[in-house]
Amino acid sequence: MANREPLKDMQARLSERLRFARTATVATAWLAVTAGRGNYLLPLRQAAELLPISQWQAVPHTKPWFLGVMNIRGSLFGTVDLAQFISHVSGTDGDAGAGIAQDAAAMSEGPASVVTVNPAIEVNCALQVNGLAGLRSGDAFASSKPAHADAPPFFGLQFFDAGGARWQEIDLQILSRSPQFLNISE
């Protein structure tokens, strides 16, 4: 329990930086997150809020990557394990998209968070991510290239940082309109 305070402080600082980045005229373009073994870039204009993960209510007869619904400030949000969803869509092994256990003990021990999708996109959705890597701008990367030809349509450019790590951009608006994303039933 002693580690919860530093995590809450870090999340509060990052949330404040997100609010500042949306209103300031800076070059920051993405919220960098990790999910499973992947590094992802979520456009700041499409992401709304970063919150610690809380209890969600499971929904029967749904895909394994749909965790359930979560109450966030009085509104229900469908909660998706981003790593599991990407693993499902891209056909990679389940290990690459392994999510966090759904029991309350696992939720309180892990550093998992949810990123809500901007209300302007008109979908009440929260994406579970395993780690936060801060804010990124284009100058944080050494190179970029288009996503693979067989990549899901919501994959944008692939960026590579100076250390060679690959960061995949995800267009949340295209993701939220994807039939694979909208079809949660088993």
- What residues contact residue 31 under an 8 Å CB cut-off, 6+ apart? 18, 41, 42, 43, 44, 47, 50, 115, 132, 134, 135, 136
pLDDT tens digits, one per residue of 140-160 = 999 999 999 999 999 999 999
pLDDT score for 12: 76
CA–CA gap between residue 14 and residue 61 (Å, rounded): 35
CATH number at residue 25: 2.40.50.180
Angle at the Cα of 153 (from 151 to 158), degrees rounded to 5?
A: 55
A 10 A CB-CB count for 36 gives: 22
Q: Which helix (H) or strand (E) holds 173?
A: helix 172-177
pLDDT score for 56: 87
The number of folded domains in the chain is 1
pLDDT score for 53: 85
Greater confidence (28 vs 84) lies with: 84
Question: Model-level pTM?
Answer: 0.77
Domain coverage including residue 147: 4-182
A 10 A CB-CB count for 21 gives: 19
pLDDT tens digits, one per residue of 65-117 = 999 999 998 999 999 999 999 999 987 644 333 333 333 223 333 468 999 99
Mean per-residue pLDDT for 131-138?
93
Q: What is the mean pLDDT of the chain?
A: 84
pLDDT score for 108: 32
Contact of 62 with 184, CB cutoff 8 Å: yes
